[in-house]
Structure 1
């Protein structure tokens, strides 16, 4: 029995196995055959539904196939994806219905208008400039999100990193929407602390003065540089590097900048991790030549670098420019100067060999200028030393770019060179972005000498886009009124030749001297450079002075001057300034000398001179400054009037009231001024050890000088008519505020005369509102 059952099971198993195999074959054939039948379509008709603005023919161009063409299901799906990718439709459905392909779409609405809500710190125009969504265009959610991110970046660049922006649409008729960007501006994220790690040569206080980013202080509501802006910190890295390298630290590196939020997430902590390295000086400085016809001895005399000077890349660049200019004057084109530096770690010196080599023969094909909507092309071109057809010198182009930026007309100026129509031609592209160059301001001035006065000023540094300067000033106070006009053309006849006109009209009610004055001046001038640091100005001057309303009992020396007088004069002035171009970045000298020659009814020679030297000591923490200035009027015919003479105020010699020093009428006490004066000023500025964000520093000063000689027979009626020196000492408090630097002087007379009028305190404030 058992054997019979087992045999039956074997037979049944064979049957089942064969049936299963047969069934699998049938199913496989069906699976293979039915998709092929389902995925092939042939549409004799295409119907588009739901489109209102978009033409049916436009939608059909995205199908990728035509009526009557056999296509697969994948091709139909690809066509649907192409229609969706246009961004014109909110929904797209592609449905085969027999031999008809139905395309159902829902169009995105049209943007009716774009508005901003909640923005108080940033104007609508500034936000509109970064938004790419436009009215009367199809609304795109992805574009709205991109615009939201752009608006958020605008606020982040202003230090408002917590600002949020939400796009919202308001439906209107005819499938239109208003796109509204709702802004929550949040507060400013300030820089609470700037620190340094690894600095040994310079203190944190000194390094913070270099940076563009500042710490938040007590006037944080008025200061814009204490907000955190990432791009500004990146700029500070480069500024810090330039600072150290210009002082001989060739290996200096900013290893990293650690930026972190405070626990309250309302302020940033910034730490610069630096590696200073060793300080190097210049060793041997030589010139050699690989150019035929260029004698190194001729070029060594043009060098300004000397052994023992602190190393600075800027000084090397200046000498390279001098040598290449000399080569051009010697008719040697395409000469380049290759500085080859040899490092001596043992002596901490760098030997520099300036090698004259033959550069590639490349010419300037043209100079293209873009972005100057107001400024004329010739103003920008005047900053170039090259024109079309000249040999191309990359260093000259870099210098020209710096001169364009120094104009102050542009918020951004990029100068790049690219290959022209042939490999030996270069096109120079200048891309500028214009900024504001004019201002109209109303404000107030206060000084302890002149008191309070109202001020209205209009100025334009780029008049009509010609690079010209124009200014009007109207100032009125209790005792004086002044109207002045100034105009300057910096590039007369397209050359480095400036032409200007200065005019002023002033009235004073001089109660102390018991007379009034009316003065007018007209002064055209022309100026030009005579050396790298020297400049000469030639001028003509016409001065009109009228002295009126003398008080009873006025000094006879003043009474003799009552009436009006007009004088003509020719003159010149020379200035020499190394404060920015000297070999020592911590020291500089300013020298001025001028003479004015009067002609006509009165002939005279007026000579003025001033020399100021400044240096930083004690790791640049303390500023030492010395100034010596003076003037002398020598009449060969006629006599000086009281309005011609010098009167010393606190701006020239501290510690005295206006006209409080100098010759004085013994009987009336009137100040008479003098035809000569000389003053020496010594001062030092230093930190007070207070938190830097307060902006407070201190100083001490010592002034020594006098004014004398009224130029007339004095007899016994005038005192202090000879050189009678006075000495004043004092301390100063400097306060850097958003409205300008304030200086408070506390003075102590050390050597003065009994009838001098002194003062123990003065302050000068200049502000606009």
Structure 2
């Protein structure tokens, strides 16, 4: 950044002299010379330059032999020389037919040195200062660099940092620039207060914003650092939260960050005006554009009369209508929601007015802020491209998609005028954030079999692999009797279409009573978004099971019979397809919404397996009390498998575990081998299952909300029944039940939960697993 200079000129004749003032500022003075309004110059004399060539200075002056140089010409010459940023002093005069240019060159920076910095490394500080080696030195730029360093430390919570700068003269017009830094202590956010909130408590609102109070783990997340931009973004988050929960008149009256004089920490206070809670009244569509069928657009309306007012539902309606209009040949049609409040009934009538908008086209899309994510990963989330009709609503759709990727700290989309009145430039600012995840799970199995002992699983996931928007997941798990390994790779835009393609491979080994199984397989699958909340999927999978009878006296007779008939190696070739509906508000910490998944597997495209298996999983979340932050959830699921022209293989039967009913081990319930045969009491899976769970989550009052700790109580029930083997027993529909407590932690690493469940209804052959440690949510 170069210093601003005001240049003065004489009216009749003048010589312009510029000399450095105190502190490096530039002072400009005018001295009279005995020249008339203009003088004819035949030559130029350049003085005082050591690095910049005289010919270069002549070019900047605009010297031409025989030209009449007036006072205005001299002014312009001085301006051009200062604009180069190479000189601290410029003096231009005429002496007879000679134009005399005297310059003092700015010093050249030899080195930029940082001392005393430990929290911010040299590389990061070099990126924020403008003075660089081999560049020109300027005092004003030096002052600006000091402030830039102070601002950088403020962003990491060190507001009492002290930065001084000095120069070391090396001779020959070269200097070293040295920044002395005293980092000071970190200023923490000790308190976040809300004023004026009645519908929602402080803890609930604190969970909405990204700024958090300091806690023992804040050094990992750094979300306890005050940042003015983050606080402004938090205000917007509060508005969206209230608007989506019926409070259409909500306002943030003020927000402040004050320093506690005793501790030096920061206290944030946010004052709000919630207003009244509204519901949707009448919903209408009013079109002024001929050819548009209002009844056809009605199918895109997300707002329903009588439902709680939601700004997000209005926004989704605008997006859906705009897409429908563009598809029907109205790219410039503009949809505007008009609301009419009824204060007595506390309802809002909404009319969607369709008008012919202004014709404007997208000149280009500029992307900034992304240091890791490739530009094309961001561009493909737009339904608009250069040359398309400009549509503000579709821009909002693109922003929501980019936010849903969860690749960025924040996403903002703005516009500016293009090269013509009907041209618009779109600017996307997307700042990357870490996208790696580490998940772990553990438990301990007890029971009557030899499979008792600890279990463990872990996975590493990168959701934005190499900045390409691809997902890579590697997992491993095991116990005393089993091992599992898996890897999967997902390309979300296969062949350039919004079609997610996943390739996966796995290897599992399991030691059962009397026999071992090693399974190796893989799959190729595709996921296609049908609507914003509904997704379809189809996949092909192939696997091979290798059996080894280690103890014929204990191995289940059903397994031995199948090996006798089909050999030790079995294969399965299958097609899987299904639908998923997801309206969950937050996958990591769900409070409202529905999740439904139906899947079907048809085996028989070659291989030894011949069956059709259907499964269903449904979950419902609802906030039971905003004041107490009590969230309830219900989950139900089931499945059935039927052989196609043959019995279902024992290995293909369903097996349940802690994911369906806590308190029991994986493959710990269901039909067993008959008491009179080998492997008596060993679970061998079942053809049908049902399960249900009810849970209530609540905050732990003894811990700060910012730690992310919650408790839960739950009750589970499940049954697994039916089997095609004649030796199977316990095949009737016997229900198991359990109840327990959970500790849920939204940790900086991954959402984790610790479950302790006690079986309250079980069968003698069941395997217990009372303690379980897993990733909190898995959809």
TM-score of Structure 1 vs Structure 2, range by shorter chain: 0.7 to 0.9
C-alpha change, 1:503 and 1:614, in structure 2 (3 Å) is same
Deviation by residue 1:284-339 (Cα, 9 ceiling, x = unmatched): 11223323233434433443322211112221222233333343454445333332
CA distance in 1, matches of 2:212, 2:334: 41
| 1:597 aligned onto 2:602 | yes
| 1:496 aligned onto 2:498 | yes
| 1:429 aligned onto 2:423 | no
Whether the 8 Å CA contact 1:547–1:561 is kept in 2: the answer is no
Query: What's the Cα RMSD here?
Result: 4.2
Partner of 1:555: 555
> How many Å apart are 1:648 and its aligned residue?
2.1
Partner of 2:516: 516
Partner of 1:487: 489
Task: Pick from 753, 773, 777 the counterpart of residue 763 of structure 1.
Answer: 773
C-alpha change, 1:414 and 1:277, in structure 2 (3 Å) is closer
| 1:612 aligned onto 2:615 | no
Whether the 8 Å CA contact 2:556–2:680 is kept in 1: the answer is no
More off after superposition, 543-552 vs 452-461: 452-461
> How many Å apart are 1:706 and its aligned residue?
1.7
| 1:53 aligned onto 2:51 | yes
SS at match of 2:235: helix
More off after superposition, 245-254 vs 318-327: 318-327
> How many Å apart are 1:416 and its aligned residue?
4.1
Partner of 1:626: 634
Task: Pick from 668, 676, 691 the counterpart of residue 660 of structure 1.
Answer: 668
Whether the 8 Å CA contact 2:459–2:475 is kept in 1: the answer is yes
CA distance in 2, matches of 1:413, 1:489: 22
> How many Å apart are 1:595 and its aligned residue?
0.9
CA distance in 1, matches of 2:530, 2:405: 21
Partner of 2:752: 742
Partner of 1:729: 739
Partner of 1:112: 110
CA distance in 1, matches of 2:545, 2:490: 25
> How many Å apart are 1:209 and its aligned residue?
0.6
CA distance in 2, matches of 1:206, 1:517: 49
CA distance in 2, matches of 1:249, 1:230: 25
SS at match of 1:221: helix
Partner of 2:543: 543
Whether the 8 Å CA contact 1:569–1:597 is kept in 2: the answer is yes
CA distance in 1, matches of 2:173, 2:723: 89
> How many Å apart are 1:348 and its aligned residue?
1.0
| 1:684 aligned onto 2:681 | no
Partner of 1:671: 683
Task: Pick from 578, 585, 588 the counterpart of residue 573 of structure 1.
Answer: 578
Structure 1 or 2, whichever has the larger Rg, is 1
CA distance in 1, matches of 2:345, 2:701: 36
C-alpha change, 1:453 and 1:348, in structure 2 (3 Å) is closer
Partner of 1:24: none
CA distance in 1, matches of 2:380, 2:430: 17
Whether the 8 Å CA contact 2:609–2:649 is kept in 1: the answer is no
Whether the 8 Å CA contact 2:549–2:555 is kept in 1: the answer is no
Deviation by residue 1:573-607 (Cα, 9 ceiling, x = unmatched): 1111222499xx96311111111111043311111
| 1:705 aligned onto 2:718 | yes
> How many Å apart are 1:421 and its aligned residue?
5.8
> How many Å apart are 1:750 and its aligned residue?
2.0
Gaps of 5+ in 2: 1-30, 446-452
CA distance in 2, matches of 1:258, 1:402: 29
TM-score, scaled relative to structure 2: 0.81
CA distance in 2, matches of 1:86, 1:363: 39
Gaps of 5+ in 1: 1-37
TM-score, scaled relative to structure 1: 0.82
More off after superposition, 211-220 vs 343-352: 211-220
C-alpha change, 1:355 and 1:65, in structure 2 (3 Å) is closer
C-alpha change, 1:50 and 1:630, in structure 2 (3 Å) is same
Task: Pick from 248, 252, 255 the counterpart of residue 253 of structure 2.
Answer: 255
Higher RCO structure, 1 or 2 (CA under 8 Å, sep 6+): 2
> How many Å apart are 1:279 and its aligned residue?
0.8
Whether the 8 Å CA contact 1:630–1:677 is kept in 2: the answer is yes
Partner of 1:6: none
More off after superposition, 643-652 vs 280-289: 643-652
CA distance in 1, matches of 2:577, 2:237: 39
C-alpha change, 1:596 and 1:760, in structure 2 (3 Å) is closer
Deviation by residue 1:626-677 (Cα, 9 ceiling, x = unmatched): 0011222211344444432322222221112333322233364322222222
Partner of 1:461: 464
Deviation by residue 1:683-703 (Cα, 9 ceiling, x = unmatched): 010123223244332211010
Whether the 8 Å CA contact 1:613–1:626 is kept in 2: the answer is yes
C-alpha change, 1:641 and 1:325, in structure 2 (3 Å) is same
CA distance in 2, matches of 1:624, 1:261: 39
> How many Å apart are 1:618 and its aligned residue?
1.4
> How many Å apart are 1:271 and its aligned residue?
1.2
Deviation by residue 1:21-46 (Cα, 9 ceiling, x = unmatched): xxxxxxxxxxxxxxxxx965689999
> How many Å apart are 1:729 and its aligned residue?
1.1
